[in-house]
């Protein structure tokens, strides 16, 4: 269920959130910024809800929509502006084990109007689709490996075909076809992204316990090669990879890391073979789950979370965490220089930060 009533939204605003994280970002033609993430309860659990924030100045963010339903879980949201300029608000829904989206035709309008719910596929999607040079849109939807579901195992997917899949639409989202998928050894939560290479092949990058695997397709996603180690490394966490308008590839990942620190933006000029240029975005601990959007003026907007405050045992432990969703704005020139050289660039701005929980003593923490 999508909630947009301003009075009702107050119940999901910052004072009512104990923890928050797993963000996504989009920026419109007119510069309006949307950021999404999820919260609810004290961990990843039934009762989670997805929040959508909006800002017209890049400083002040307000809640404009929430997805919530009793005895269900909305989680791992994704934002995407398609080639038609429409904003897709994509969320995963449990225990139905499905990926749903609502579309806003004009995300720059004074009043946002959302369409009907669209089911994309089963089971989980949290990264942006890829538009192929031939026109198809590929959506990265996965069925996780059995037994790693975060919440109660009874909510695990019943689907026995468990891979990181590509779903294709050739009619701008009216219908979807499930194509092939890849099953990487030691994969964790997949969180895969699909990149079209200059030779026409597709590369699917998949989160694993050892870092990031890669699989290739030469038939637009119908079949995929056996995944191998991409050698991009990583602390078993989400990453972001995308081709920029310049033709370079942007990778946002943990570099020279000790767990989830040293979140870094990297550029490749040889289709991902080497990563010559690097810019440290945030060297602090517990910074993770980047998402990004390149705008027409050459700036790259990046969001990520810091110290989510989930899976803890008391309010005292929670309040020791930053519980921030952050935003950075950089250019390729900044990454090449290894420091901020562009006039409007910035790092580590806070889009949302939690303070004391207004519903104190209303949460039943688990004890370990």
The reply to whether 253 falls in a domain is yes
In tens, the pLDDT along 284-332 reads 999 999 999 999 999 999 999 999 999 999 999 999 999 999 999 999 9
The reply to whether 322 falls in a domain is yes
How many domains, the chain? 1
**For residues 265 and 254, what is the distance between their CA atoms, to the nearest angstrom?**
9
Query: Is the confidence at residue 25, as pLDDT, over 60?
Result: yes
Residue 282: in which H helix or E strand, if any? strand 277-282
**For residues 72 and 93, what is the distance between their CA atoms, to the nearest angstrom?**
7
Q: Is 207 helix (H, G, I), strand (E, B) or coil?
A: strand
145 or 80, greater pLDDT: 80
The reply to whether 112 falls in a domain is yes
- Cis peptide bond N-terminal to 335, omega within 30: no
For 284, which DSSP code?
S
Q: Return the pLDDT at 368.
A: 45
Q: Which residues of 353-367 are buried (b: 16+ CB within 10 A; e: fewer)?
A: ebeebeeeeeeebee
The CATH number linked to 315 is 2.120.10.10
Q: Return the pLDDT at 275.
A: 98
pTM above threshold 0.85 = yes
The reply to whether 88 falls in a domain is yes
Closest CA to 73 of 43, 37, 48: 48
**For residues 332 and 266, what is the distance between their CA atoms, to the nearest angstrom?**
9
Q: Return the pLDDT at 146.
A: 83
The reply to whether 361 falls in a domain is no
The reply to whether 199 falls in a domain is yes
Q: Return the pLDDT at 145.
A: 86
Could you tell me which residues come within 8 angstroms of residue 26 by beta carbon, excluding any fewer than 6 positions away?
33, 34, 79, 80, 81, 87, 107, 293
Residue 336: in which H helix or E strand, if any? helix 332-337
The reply to whether 362 falls in a domain is no
Q: Return the pLDDT at 366.
A: 66
Sheet holding 228-229, edge to edge: 187-196, 202-208, 212-217, 228-229
The reply to whether 9 falls in a domain is yes
In tens, the pLDDT along 236-264 reads 999 999 999 999 999 999 999 999 999 99
Give yes or no for a contact between 151 and 44, defined as CB atoms under 8 angstroms apart.
Answer: yes
Which residue range forms the structural domain that includes residue 235?
Answer: 2-353
């Amino acid at each position: 269920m999508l909630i947009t009533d301003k009075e009702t939204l107050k119940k999901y605003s910052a004072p009512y959130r104990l923890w928050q994280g797993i963000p996504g970002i989009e920026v419109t033609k007119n510069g309006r910024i949307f950021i999404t993430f999820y919260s609810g309860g004290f961990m990843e659990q039934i009762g989670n809800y997805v929040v959508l924030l909006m800002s017209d100045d890049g400083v002040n963010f307000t809640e404009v929509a929430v997805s919530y339903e009793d005895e269900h879980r909305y989680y791992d949201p994704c934002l995407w502006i398609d080639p038609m300029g429409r904003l897709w608000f994509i969320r995963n829904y449990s225990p139905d084990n499905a990926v749903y989206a609502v579309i806003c035709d004009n995300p720059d309008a004074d009043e946002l109007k959302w369409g009907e719910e669209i089911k994309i596929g089963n089971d989980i999607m949290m990264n942006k689709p890829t538009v192929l040079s031939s026109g198809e849109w590929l959506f990265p939807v996965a069925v996780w490996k059995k037994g790693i579901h975060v919440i109660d195992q009874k909510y695990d997917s019943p689907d026995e075909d468990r891979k990181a899949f590509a779903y294709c639409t050739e009619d701008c989202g009216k219908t979807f076809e499930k194509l092939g998928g890849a099953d990487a050894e030691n994969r964790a939560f997949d969180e895969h992204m699909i990149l079209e290479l200059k030779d026409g092949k597709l590369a699917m990058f998949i989160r694993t316990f050892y870092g990031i695997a890669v699989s290739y397709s030469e038939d637009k996603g119908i079949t995929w090669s056996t995944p191998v180690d991409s050698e991009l490394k990583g602390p078993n966490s989400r990453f972001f990879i995308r081709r920029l308008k310049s033709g370079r590839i942007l990778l946002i990942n943990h570099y020279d890391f000790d767990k989830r620190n040293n979140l870094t933006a990297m550029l490749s000029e040889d289709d991902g073979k080497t990563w010559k240029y690097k810019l440290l975005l945030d060297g602090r601990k517990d910074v993770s789950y980047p998402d990004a959007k390149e705008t027409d003026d050459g700036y790259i907007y990046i969001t990520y979370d810091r110290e989510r405050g989930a899976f803890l045992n008391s309010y005292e432990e929670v309040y020791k965490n930053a519980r921030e969703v952050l935003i950075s704005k950089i250019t390729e020139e900044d990454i090449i220089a290894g420091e901020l050289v562009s006039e409007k660039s910035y790092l580590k701005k806070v889009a949302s930060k939690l303070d004391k929980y207004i519903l104190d003593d209303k949460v039943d923490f688990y004890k370990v």
